[in-house]
Amino acid sequence: MNLKKLLAACVTAVMICAALGGCGSKAEGGASETKAAETTAAPEKTPETDEEWHQAMIDKALTSYGNVSKMQEKLKAAQEGEALNISYLGGSITEGMTVAPAYPEKCWAYLTYEHIKEKFGAGDGSNVTYNNAGIAGTPSKLGVLRLDRDVLNTDPDICFVEFAVNDGGEGDYQQAYESIIRRLIDNDVAVVLVFAVTENGHSCQEYMQAQGEYYGLPMISYRDAITYMFDNGKMTWQDFSDDQSHPNEAGHEMVAEMIDRYFDTVMEQTAEEYSYPAEPMTELRPYGAHLYDNTNLEPVDKGTWYNGSETAHFTDGWTYNRYKGENKPIKFKFTGKFVYMLYHEVAGGAWGKAHIVVKQDGEVYDDFEFSPVDPNGWGNCQVKCIGMSPVNCEYEIEISMADGDEDKAFSLLGFGYTIDE
């Protein structure tokens, strides 16, 4: 193993150990938090009417107001006529799958935007704008790579973050999630965390809530709210969803009402000076990541590949021309530290393995074959880390089809990369 690759491997090992070691200790003087329980105590008696049970569910969702100073600042400015740009970053639950394709105004994101606009917008509310950056199948590992393109480029004032059911509990998810939080705060954005759940109970709320508490953020958990109703026999999953994951129309209305509860009461809370934690909870490997595609990266040699890709929201990649009868690699050169390959993932079909060679400062870092086929794939964008360096280096990347798969398909959607500028 060459020196560069050995160094990168050591860095990786340290980072993995840090991630597996838990969230780490909190920095002294960390962000203050105000638990919702302190101001919205549990009912003193068991609810009796349907209305009381419904209100108890809405109250249960408000996990924490967090430190309200930034949110109050943004909302007051909107009331005085300043622009209030609201973004929503997440997966299909945020995108509004099951309702948004036909009725985008019925998803929880749009419903909450309408509520905030009506309550805090100046005049006709035209100073409040909406940006739904939810993309089906997106975990935080992909969300952090598209944060610039899909959220920060809109100059957001408030951003809702929802990845609880698309993420796993591994360290790379935790690092990506915290990188999103920290980058948004660094850009003067008021962040709201939303915690979802699937029918089988999957949710990454535990570590996400720990991060939210560390950074003093508002948190709304519809997992806690609907589970409370299920446990008391007042709702079934089918009342909330028509599949295993996504709210139905009534479910979106419930989630919106839970979030509206926060905005209806946040201005009544006592604001305290915000103390930004000096140290992160995890190793922030993807912090500050940028995205390359064919709009801002020109290959050194395009080989037998052409511009364009057909993955939803990722149409500016490069696709192998399997009908040309040649297998010439597409070649790239750029500077970075960590590099992530974005590719079109499928469950099967005429898709083949790619042969990928990665060099750092002229030395081979990795040389491997890679298949885009996964049983869980459905034509979505997926991410693979293909390069790690503790310092900036010049990457040279060559991608061709593996021997025997020259007549198969492969779609490269772009590269995520970090860099010390």
318 neighbors 401 (Cβ within 8 angstroms): no
| Count of C-beta atoms within a 10 Å radius of residue 272 | 14
Question: Which CATH number does the domain housing residue 57 bear?
Answer: 3.40.50.1110
Residues 306 and 226 in one domain: no
127: Cβ contacts below 8 Å, ≥ 6 apart: 78, 81, 82, 83, 84, 121
Judged against a pLDDT cut of 60, whether residue 26 lies above it is answered with no
- What's the confidence (pLDDT) of residue 15? 42
143 neighbors 89 (Cβ within 8 angstroms): yes
Q: Are strands 318-320 and 411-417 parallel, antiparallel or unpaired?
A: antiparallel
pLDDT grade for 145, boundaries at 50, 70 and 90? very high
Rounded-to-integer distance, Cα 93 and Cα 107, Å: 9
Residues 150 and 255 in one domain: yes
Residues 95 and 178 in one domain: yes
Please report whether residue 174 resides in a domain: yes
Integer Rg of the chain from CA: 23
E strand or H helix at 183: helix 171-186
- What's the confidence (pLDDT) of residue 18? 39
**CA dist 404 to 121, 356, 407, Å?**
60, 15, 8
Comparing 17-26, 198-207, 245-254, 296-305, which segment has the lowest mean pLDDT? 17-26
Rounded-to-integer distance, Cα 87 and Cα 154, Å: 8
Judged against a pLDDT cut of 80, whether residue 3 lies above it is answered with no
Structural domain span for residue 344: 289-417
Q: What's the structural domain count of the chain?
A: 2
Three-class SS state of 330: strand
pLDDT grade for 384, boundaries at 50, 70 and 90? very high
- Give percent of the chain with pLDDT exceeding 70: 90
Question: Which CATH number does the domain housing residue 376 bear?
Answer: 2.60.120.260
Per-residue pLDDT tens over the stretch 65-100: 999 999 999 999 999 999 999 999 999 999 999 898
pTM for this entry: 0.89
Region 55-66 average pLDDT: 98
Residue that has been written with the tokens 């105000």 in this structure: 34
- Give percent of the chain with pLDDT exceeding 90: 88
229 neighbors 197 (Cβ within 8 angstroms): no
Closest to 42 in 3D by CA, of 285, 288, 231, 225: 225
Per-residue pLDDT tens over the stretch 284-340: 999 999 999 999 999 999 999 999 999 999 999 999 999 999 999 999 999 999 999
Judged against a pLDDT cut of 70, whether residue 179 lies above it is answered with yes
Q: What is the mean pLDDT of the chain?
A: 91
Please report whether residue 361 resides in a domain: yes
Judged against a pLDDT cut of 60, whether residue 275 lies above it is answered with yes
- What's the confidence (pLDDT) of residue 197? 98
Please report whether residue 409 resides in a domain: yes
No. of H helices and E strands in the chain? 13, 16
Judged against a pLDDT cut of 60, whether residue 36 lies above it is answered with no
pLDDT grade for 101, boundaries at 50, 70 and 90? confident
pLDDT grade for 44, boundaries at 50, 70 and 90? low
Three-class SS state of 416: strand
Residues 73 and 220 in one domain: yes
Three-class SS state of 144: coil
Per-residue pLDDT tens over the stretch 198-234: 999 999 999 999 999 999 999 999 999 999 999 999 9
Please report whether residue 13 resides in a domain: no
